[in-house]
Structure 1
Amino acid sequence: MIRTLNSLRFILILMIVISHSTLPISQDLINYLGEFPVAIFFVISGFVLSLSKGEKLQKEVLGNRNFFLSRIIKLYPLHILILAILILLDWRLGRILPWYQILSHSLLIQTWYPAHDFMAHLNAATWFISDLIFFYLIFKYLYAWIMRHSWLYLLVTISIYMAVYISISLCAQADYSAGYIYAHPLFRMIDFMIGILLYKVCRSE
């Protein structure tokens, strides 16, 4: 099952890449090949991690530090390489960003800064990885919280969460912060949580 879901994640990433290409057709399909696959990717990630690592982390068969570092090692070296190339290209074009912006992108914490333009420079697509890093960091605790509580409690809590998210999103649609809210880890976390909830459904009797 995990191999099949990972193959699906690859297809979703490919759809996202196409949506960000310069092909004329990509502009017409961006809502379908961009935003939808992002949400599904986070859902699948929550489910796959719950299936493969959830119980191991909860029973401390796998240490949270080792789990987190293993995820970082898969993502970080390539991220730094691409970032260095982009910084060099920007320098050649005479565009030099502030050091703190470069540092935040290097550490993959740019989505926590409350401005879309701050997040969208350099390798803008890494907002996605920035969110994933946060999800990996809190996965053990989020998984334990969802598994521990009743469905009624989870339904009420998530309904309140969604109401807040929708309200803020609607208020931000006409504002420059809409893109930032779309990418913020605390708002995208609902997709990841849905994946863990689906795993709980599969586990339940």
Structure 2
Amino acid sequence: MIDTLTSLRLFFALMVFGAHCYVVDSSFSTHIFKEGFVGVSFFFILSGFIIAYNYQKKMEERLVTKRRFWAARVARIYPLHVLTLLGVAVVGNWLTPTGWCEGLKHFIPALFLLHPFVPRMDYFFYFGSPSWSLGCEQLFYFLFPFLALFFKERQRLAGTLLVCAVAVPVLMSLTDEANIRGYWYVNPLARFPDFLVGMLLYQAYGWCRSKQLSFFTASLLEVGAVCLFLLFYLASEDLVPKVYRYSCYYWIPISLVLLIFSLQKGFLSRILSNKYLVIGGDISYSFYLIHLWIILAYVQLAKTYDCHISLYISIPLILAVTIGLSLLSYSYFEKPANRVVKRILNKQQ
């Protein structure tokens, strides 16, 4: 595993957290916070890179079967997804005796991560959960064993992405405002190019890591990559329509950040290699699935008891609770469940 990229997961998870804090206080309705949805694009591209990093050569050399790969992916995403979905359904009274039929109609697609394929908010956001992105990941994971062989030649992958780079913005421009979220933000087919970008990055990584970079040069590149990302991020509100910012607008800055930090040769990489930041990256999956629960629970409690707590207390409190629960989830549920599910699925071969 590349420690710097693991640590970056924490920072982008915090950006997603900030994007959702507007429900706590209107101060978070500004662009600098709400643009945090870019964290989702980061995770999709990172997923393509890391999956290729861990499995591309193994697939090419037939060292890992498709079934074993899929078992590992199911074990990774499903246990915590099922737990959080059931928790939301029960706590939110989504499956009440009087409304069970309507609730079940949405629960079953969400359970099998099919809900983001339905371009309607009452499906992909029905349970108020970010699990729609797992539906995208599920598609990527299903296709990867085939993609690893089909895109063995990087020219083929680069050509495919070049076609996407032309076709995606054109199709986005033809989509009316009311449908852009359903068609371009949550739709797994629309987010598929993000994953391909990550796969191509792995090909570039194989070339770049053989190059000799001094500590000073690598540090300049790292600072430059961060500055470029921030430039794209901060300048986007008035210049770029939101539909492009959902994915393709951020391909270049995110890719540069991932590629340069994957080399782990500069002073920012040394900071990101700190073990506590790496742990933060390790718990980012739990953090991602849990954080919206905590935010919405806080808002509901505040309304119920008519309690108005200062923003400078409420947000740190919500963040601390989320991090604490994420640590517990990662250590005592996510990792053990991962091992158990993999053992069960691999025994069935």
Question: Shorter-chain TM-score: which interval?
Answer: 0.7 to 0.9
Report the secondary structure of 1:147's partner residue. coil
SS at match of 1:20: helix
> Residue 9 of structure 2 aligns with which residue?
9
Helix, strand or coil at the partner of 2:131: helix
Tell me the equivalent position of 1:83: 85
2:111 equivalent to 1:106: yes
CA distance in 1 between partners of 2:172 and 2:160 (Å) = 18
Post-superposition offset of 1:100: 2.8
How far, CA to CA, are the matches of 2:25 and 2:59 in structure 1? 43
* Residues 34-56 of structure 1, C-alpha deviations (whole Å, 9 max, x = no match): 2x221122111111111121111
Q: CA deviation at 1:8?
A: 1.2
Query: Which residue identity is paired with 1:193?
Result: L
Kept in 2, the 8 Å contact 1:54–1:143? The answer is: yes
Counterpart-to-counterpart distance in 1, 2:195 and 2:51? 10
Query: Distance in 2 between the 1:45 and 1:199 partners?
Result: 11
Structure 2 CA distance for aligned equivalents of residues 95 and 171 of structure 1: 38
Deviations 1:97-125 (A, max 9, x none): 34232100000111112323321111431
Is the radius of gyration larger for structure 1 or structure 2? 2
The corresponding residue for 1:185 is 188
Counterpart-to-counterpart distance in 2, 1:23 and 1:57: 48
Greater alpha carbon shift after TM alignment, 61-70 vs 21-30: 21-30
Q: Give the superposition deviation at 1:154.
A: 4.2
CA distance in 2, matches of 1:172, 1:109: 22
Give the counterpart of 1:126 among 128, 131, 145: 131
Aligned residues: 201
Q: TM-score, normalised to structure 2's length?
A: 0.52
1:111-170 CA deviation, whole Å, 9 max, x = no partner? 1123233211114311111111111111122232222252xx544432332333223322
AA partner of residue 167 (structure 2): V
Determine helix, strand or coil for the equivalent of 1:61: coil
Structure 2 residue 172 is matched with structure 1 residue 169 = yes
Which ranges in structure 1 are unaligned for 5 or more consecutive residues? none
Residues 154 and 203, structure 2, Cα contact 8 Å, conserved in 1: no
Question: How far apart are residue 30 of structure 1 and its match?
Answer: 4.1
User: In the alignment, is the contact (CA less than 8 A) between 1:83 and 1:123 conserved in 2?
Assistant: no
User: Partners of 2:144 and 2:26 in 1: how far apart?
Assistant: 38
C-alpha contact (below 8 Å) 2:45/2:197 kept by paired residues:
yes
CA change 1:25–1:95 in 2 (3 A) is: farther
- Kept in 2, the 8 Å contact 1:12–1:37? The answer is yes
Whether the 8 Å contact between 1:5 and 1:48 is mirrored in structure 2 is: no
Structure 1 residue 204: Cα displacement: 4.1
Equivalent pair of 2:19/2:33 in contact (CA under 8 Å): yes
Please give the alpha-carbon distance, in whole angstroms, between the structure 2 residues aligned to 1:123 and 1:57. 36
TM-score, length of structure 1 as denominator length: 0.85
**Contact 2:70/2:142 (8 A) holds in 1:** yes
Identity %: 23
**Residue equivalent to 1:55:** 57
Residue 194, structure 1, aligned to residue 197, structure 2: yes
Q: CA RMSD in A?
A: 2.3
Q: Work out the CA distance in 2 between the residues paired with 1:155 and 1:58.
A: 18
Moved more, 75-84 or 95-104: 95-104
Closer, same or farther: CA 23–61 of 1 in aligned 2, 3 Å: farther
